């Protein structure tokens, strides 16, 4: 790959240039092809990787674990309650201790300031596995899935429909603009992305040839888009807001009608997962109106959500190999 990212942290998209993100994506495609061909990498052999999780995770935890093992590293899961982080020991002190023992640190949690503090003090690469502000490893998997489908990202439409100010929306807004995409955030006005973020995305898009649209009109927002993306209506830590969000976001549910409103038979449906799309979960049985996508869409020919989930592993592997690997 062209860019030398050795020793760099991976905290948010804006810390990188579009060319650097593109290099990470190219590396992910190579690693995916290698894995499919049965070619085993050893670029992280002898490395120890700490996986700190304040919040639960299926995809991110498993992606980091499998990626470590694939490349010869040892992953160590440090769950909420397993370590002193922030309670009995400051984040800065924890970072300095872990940095003496581990070669890289993944953090998933609430405050973005926590991952910034870890990065400041650890002395080893720190990777953001999701904070309340950003989800950059998800963004890489998302754009990988879009490129697999359409062969390019430049000018390709991605309409994110739902809560426009959560971490996934933030990362898509900036990240898609960095890849020169036609990114649309479709949400109620009260959930529009923060103004400074929209301005940054527009400035990035002016450089990359991308396009940024923020709208509360679902039909206009998805028209002509190659992809429709949604996420849960209440993020982790927002469970108390579920009833309020259902009332606000019900008109933004991704239905067959929304997919058809793209006007593109080849349009795809994306979701970072987990997704409420039927009553097979405890939470959706308690709140049957919680579903952000129709089951017909999730299970239909539009859906690429499990390609996206698999791509979490290839893209996370690329981030670790690029910043820590030999």
Residues found near ligand CP in the complex (CB under 6 A): 57-60, 130, 138, 272-273
Is 57 or 94 the residue whose CB approaches ligand CP more closely? 57
Give the Cα separation of 94 and 107 in Å (integer): 12
Residue 108 is among the residues annotated as catalytic for this protein: yes
**Token pair belonging to 209:** 């040839």
Residue 176 is among the residues annotated as catalytic for this protein: no
Residue 272 is among the residues annotated as catalytic for this protein: yes
The secondary structure of residue 40, as a DSSP letter, is: P
Dmax of the chain from CA atoms? 55
* Helix-helix angle 136-150:305-324, to 10 degrees: 120
- Please identify which residue in the block is written with the tokens 């991308």: 210
Is 137 or 262 the residue whose CB approaches ligand CP more closely? 137
Is 54 or 182 the residue whose CB approaches ligand CP more closely? 54
CB of 227 to ligand CP, least distance (A): 16
Residue 285 is among the residues annotated as catalytic for this protein: no
CA distances from 172 to 53, 56, 87 (A): 22, 22, 32
Residue 226 is among the residues annotated as catalytic for this protein: no
CB of 57 to ligand CP, least distance (A): 3
Residue 149 is among the residues annotated as catalytic for this protein: no
**Token pair belonging to 277:** 């799309």
Cα-trace Rg, the chain: 19
CB of 137 to ligand CP, least distance (A): 8
- Please report the DSSP string for 98-149 in residue order: HHHH-SEEEEE-S-HHHHHHHHHHHSS-EEES--SS--HHHHHHHHHHHHHH
Is 308 or 323 the residue whose CB approaches ligand CP more closely? 308
Is 35 or 59 the residue whose CB approaches ligand CP more closely? 59
Query: Residues 184, 190: contact at Cβ < 8 Å?
Result: no
Choosing from 59, 61, 121, 135, which is the catalytic residue?
Answer: 135
Choosing from 138, 184, 226, 264, which is the catalytic residue?
Answer: 138
Choosing from 9, 231, 271, 308, which is the catalytic residue?
Answer: 231
Q: Within the chain, how many helices (H) and strands (E) appear? A: 13, 9
Residues assigned a catalytic role: 108, 135, 138, 231, 272, 312
């Amino acid at each position: 790959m062209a860019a030398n990212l050795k020793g760099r942290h991976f905290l948010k998209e804006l810390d990188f240039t579009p060319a650097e993100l593109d290099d990470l994506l190219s590396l992910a495609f190579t690693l995916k092809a290698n894995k499919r061909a049965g070619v085993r990498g050893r670029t992280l052999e002898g490395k120890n990787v700490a996986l700190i999780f304040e919040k639960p995770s299926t995809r991110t935890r498993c992606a980091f674990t499998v990626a470590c093992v694939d490349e010869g590293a040892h992953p160590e899961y440090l769950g909420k309650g397993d370590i002193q982080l922030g309670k009995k020991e400051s984040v800065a002190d924890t970072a300095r201790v872990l940095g003496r023992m581990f070669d890289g640190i993944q953090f998933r949690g609430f405050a973005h300031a926590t991952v910034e503090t870890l990065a400041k003090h650890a002395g080893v690469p720190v990777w953001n596995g999701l904070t309340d502000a950003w989800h950059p490893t998800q963004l890489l998997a998302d754009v990988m899935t879009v490129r697999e489908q359409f062969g390019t990202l430049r000018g390709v439409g991605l309409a994110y429909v739902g809560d426009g100010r959560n971490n996934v929306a933030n990362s898509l807004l900036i990240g898609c603009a960095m890849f020169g995409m036609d990114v649309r955030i479709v949400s109620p006005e009260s959930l529009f992305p923060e103004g400074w973020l929209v301005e940054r995305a527009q400035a990035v898009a002016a450089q990359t040839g991308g396009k940024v649209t923020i709208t509360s009109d679902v039909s206009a927002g998805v028209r002509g888009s190659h992809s429709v993306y949604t996420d849960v209506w209440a993020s982790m830590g927002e469970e108390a807001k579920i009833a309020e969000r259902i009332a606000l976001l019900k008109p933004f549910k991704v239905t067959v009608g929304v997919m058809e409103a793209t006007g593109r038979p080849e349009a795809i449906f994306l979701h970072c997962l987990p997704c409420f799309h039927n009553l097979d979960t405890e939470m959706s049985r308690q709140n049957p109106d919680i579903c952000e996508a129709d089951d017909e869409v999730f299970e239909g020919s539009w859906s690429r959500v499990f390609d996206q989930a698999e791509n979490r592993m290839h893209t996370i592997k690329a981030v670790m190999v690029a910043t820590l690997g030999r």
